A and B are shown apart, each in its own frame.
Chain A
Amino acid sequence: MSASTNTDGLPRWATLALLPAINLFAALVVSSLVILAIGQDPVSALAFMVKGAVGSGTGLSYTLYYATSLIFTGLAVAIANHAGLFNIGGEGQAYVGGLGTGLVCLALSGWPWYAVLPVAVLAGALFGAVWGLVPGYLQAYRGSHIVITTIMFNFLASALMVYLLGGPLIEHGQMAPESREFAESTFLPAVKDIAASLGYRTSTLPLNLSLVLALLCAAGVWFLIWHTRWGFQMRTVGANEAAARYAGINARTTIVIAMAISGALAGLVGINELQGVQHRITLNFQAGMGFTGIAVALMGRGHPVGIVLSSLLFGALYQGGAELSFEYNEISPRLVVVIQGVVILFSGALEHMFRPAMARLLKPKTPATAGQRA
């Protein structure tokens, strides 16, 4: 493909790589100022964050484990975005999807993990799809704005799960609102198990097989959006609904299906968090992954490759931030949230802030376009 420029004159490589890098750098600069303000040395703090995130096997495995969930939710937001929809219901869709996964794991007690997995994936996707489909339907056929309905469905999910985990699903004789533990045979292989089968001993780490599933989903989404008829229809609806109608595309069904797929992807978070790590259905297991998925999708420019990369970035921020607050007593865990927030600010809301300056810098210097005004 030719390297076509955008109308504002930025070459493609600048938009895809340089601009996000500059945004990230700006975020780190601002974060450093915050760290300075609380009396700590930003360089050593940030260096420690990096080390904590990727400098050890343990750190890296935590980073990847976080990234796995973010890939699912990032893909969910991205696919809806291509259809012109802003899906901020990833939290609720992940939550309810986890319910589906958890119920399967609870029900198929004696089964081995490789038999449980396909059913769990199906259930998680199905439950998540329903949670995304209803707002999608309401938008397409009733004009109810998707942003409002998906937020409301997040609350609905929360209320639903509180009820279920405190009532029907609660483990007998326990006080904590969570289900009983799944049968061990259903656990997804994690790093420890895979290492053991190769003859190594490692500590218990959360990174598990669902990472492979996440990467497969990323590939699948890439294929779906850009290489199928349906993906073309969806992108057309997202770009220009009038043209979609002209082309004989049913915008309504496209929107509904896009939201269903989006919810389904978010619903797979449970495979990672529940079947892979916690081995029981817990309250709020998805822990903000749905919302961070929005930032991941924005920073990843809606493309699966970008999403995987920015999932890694945010996973590293989570992990590095956790290490940082363990090590430095003065730096509270909240600071990590600040850093994440600043990254989201620069890569999302202020995404284009540096664009004009970059465009000027990258343009070939011209002999005076005009002199000074007389």
Chain B
Amino acid sequence: MILVNYIACIILIVLGFYVILTKKNILKIIIGMGLIDYGINLLIISIGFNPGGTAPIFTFTELKPESFFVDPVPQALTLTSIVIGACVTAMALSLVIKIKEKYGTLDADKVRRLNG
């Protein structure tokens, strides 16, 4: 329950949405999608923190039934979310390579042949 972490998460997510809404270059839109993902990852980690707790690893620290450790479930969720973020970036970048070959431009105002 750290206040600085939560404020940083909100700033990252709002900046990510701002970039998707106002920037016209397609590569900047991909960076905005990544910013939203990283902000949510920080939020997940911050939720599982217990102040004064130790790491939940069984063999290298002496973890007895009465010790106090941080929550391990959000750490597993963050790992999955990081992998998903990397895959989204890879797929979006390969689409951008083919768009540049076919349309010749990377401006969102000109990549709009399907409308109406």
Verify that A and B bind, or say they do not.
Answer: no
